[in-house]
């Protein structure tokens, strides 16, 4: 049974009647353009074929009544007095309601059943997916138009101001705007997007190291601070505004750590734009080399890799079917991605799993992904 059908059936079981809509919002992996979004730079993610689904029905009340199938937990809150509590998943939905109301949207109540096949905590943006699914649910019951980019911004507000995670805009944008078969080149300053077709003979494989690091948030915030310091040094609003030539001319006077952080961001922006070009030209070899270079820069200059991520990337790169591999997302643990020749995926995943396990003693999770559409709604 598909996750959508499952969500409908479970809604009927739990609430005792048929839902009016099912909304769906996907998780993501980033192909290239890492730690560039909060520097007003460029990112190139795909929405993946794993998503959060909410089957829902409007109610005549001012309440949102929820059941999360995977977690077997229920919750309810009033739109008239949204309070912080400690049930993490509900906070994302409350945060969306709060951000929508702050932005002047008039919201109606609903009851909803949430189902998801995005692994939680793996770095595949299950939280952004939940936020975007919630924006679609509120739009459906409140009769306001669901505008993808505005709703991505609402999701980001919810996460930053309500949940308290200081993220960029990439995860919410791709969950909102993603397109099947395509990567999305996002200019994180103007929020202009460009669809970039995936080369036909490649498959995107997500390699979960089965490691999670604490303190990711503080390390992430520290990187943001260092990037800000570098931008201030160059006298510009964000590192996006520093060219390689300006960097080479002036950067020597920077503190050595800040120097390396800035060098990553500036070179990663260039690589991301080049990657979009090579993808459009169906040049998987050149695309893969840019991905490999991104990993080296994240490892050595931005210092957000880990021994397990390096090991996983190494295992992937050793395979002849692999065009390129790198850590993806915030780093420190979680997932790498590999771009693999479509004909050799099965052999690739089996060999990498064995070799990674031999080297680390850890059992990896491997997801073969296709690029999916951004958030959708269906009447049931």
Residues with catalytic roles: 171
Supply the Cα-derived Rg of the chain in whole angstroms: 21
For residue 231, what are its two tokens? Answer: 């931008």
Residue 341 in the binding site for ligand GLA (CB under 6 A): no
Min separation Cβ 342 and ligand GLA, Å: 26
**Helix spans in the chain (H):** 3-15, 88-102, 126-142, 148-157, 170-177, 216-234, 244-250, 256-280, 284-300, 307-317, 345-360
Integer Cα distance of 99 and 96 in angstroms: 5
Contact between 35 and ligand GLA (CB under 6 A)? yes
Taking contact as CB under 6 A, which single stretch among the options 33-41, 254-262, 287-295, 359-367 is the one that binds ligand GLA? 33-41
Please provide residue 117's backbone torsions phi and psi, each rounded to the nearest 5 degrees.
-120, 25
When the beta carbons of 4 and 272 are compared against ligand GLA, the nearer one is 272
**Which tokens go with 28?**
């993501």
171 binds ligand GLA (CB under 6 A): yes
| The one among 167, 293, 325, 352 contacting ligand GLA by CB under 6 A | 167
**Considering CB under 6 A, how many residues would be counted as binding ligand GLA?**
10
Q: Which stretch binds ligand GLA (CB under 6 A): 3-11, 65-73, 76-84, 165-173?
A: 165-173
Which residues, in sequence order, are bridge partners of residue 66? 75, 112
- Nearer to ligand GLA by Cβ, of 109 and 329: the residue is 329
The residue among 276, 312, 249 whose CA lies nearest residue 36 is: 276
Q: What character string, x for contact with ligand GLA (CB under 6 A) and - otherwise, covers 314-333?
A: ---------------xx---
Identity of the residue, 40 or 111, whose beta carbon is nearer to ligand GLA in the bound complex: 40
Asked whether position 183 contacts ligand GLA by CB under 6 A, the answer is no
Of 11, 38, 323, 332, the one binding ligand GLA (CB under 6 A) is 38
Q: 151 or 167: whose CB is closer to ligand GLA? A: 167
Q: How far is the CB of 353 from ligand GLA (least distance, A)?
A: 24
The token pair at 159 is 């996460």
Closest CA to 131 of 255, 27, 14, 265: 27
- Minimum distance of ligand GLA from residue 152's CB (angstroms): 11
Which uninterrupted H or E stretch holds 42? strand 42-58
Mind giving me the DSSP string for 245-271?
HHHHHHGGGS-HHHHHHHHHHHHHHHH
95 binds ligand GLA (CB under 6 A): no
What are the residues binding ligand GLA (CB under 6 A)? Answer: 34-35, 37-38, 167-168, 170-171, 329-330
């Amino acid at each position: 049974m598909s996750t959508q059908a499952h969500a409908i059936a479970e809604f009927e079981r739990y609430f005792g009647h048929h839902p009016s809509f099912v909304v769906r919002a996907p998780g993501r992996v980033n192909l290239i353009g890492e730690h560039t979004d909060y520097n007003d730079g460029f990112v190139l993610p795909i929405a993946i074929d794993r998503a959060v689904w909410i089957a829902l029905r409007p109610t005549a009340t001012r309440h949102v009544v929820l059941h999360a199938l995977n977690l077997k937990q229920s919750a309810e809150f009033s739109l008239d007095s949204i309070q912080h509590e400690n049930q993490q998943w509900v906070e994302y939905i409350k945060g969306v309601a709060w951000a929508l109301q702050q932005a002047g949207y008039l919201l109606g109540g609903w009851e909803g059943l949430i189902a998801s096949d995005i692994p939680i905590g793996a770095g595949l943006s299950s939280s952004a997916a939940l936020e975007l699914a919630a924006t679609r649910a509120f739009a459906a019951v409140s009769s306001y138009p669901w505008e993808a980019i505005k709703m991505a911004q609402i999701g980001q507000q919810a996460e930053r101001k309500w949940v308290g995670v200081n993220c960029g805009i990439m995860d919410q944008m791709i969950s909102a705007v993603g397109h099947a078969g395509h990567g999305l080149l996002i200019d994180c300053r103007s929020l202009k997007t460009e669809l970039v077709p995936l080369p036909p003979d490649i498959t995107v494989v997500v390699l979960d190291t089965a490691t999670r690091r604490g303190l990711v948030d503080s390390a992430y915030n520290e990187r943001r601070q260092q990037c800000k310091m570098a931008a201030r040094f160059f006298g510009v609003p964000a590192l996006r505004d520093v060219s390689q030539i300006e960097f080479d001319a002036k950067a020597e006077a920077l503190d050595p750590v800040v120097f390396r952080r800035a060098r990553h961001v500036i070179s990663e922006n260039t690589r991301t734009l080049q990657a979009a070009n090579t993808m459009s030209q169906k040049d998987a070899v050149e695309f893969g080399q840019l991905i490999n270079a991104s990993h080296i820069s994240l490892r050595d200059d931005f210092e957000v890799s880990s021994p397990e991520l390096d090991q996983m990337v190494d295992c992937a790169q050793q395979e002849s079917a692999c065009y390129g591999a790198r850590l993806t997302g915030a780093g420190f643990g979680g997932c790498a991605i590999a771009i693999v020749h479509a004909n050799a995926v099965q052999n690739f995943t089996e060999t990498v799993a064995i070799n990674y396990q031999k080297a680390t003693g850890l059992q990896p999770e491997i997801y073969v992904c296709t690029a999916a559409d951004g958030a959708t709604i269906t009447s049931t």
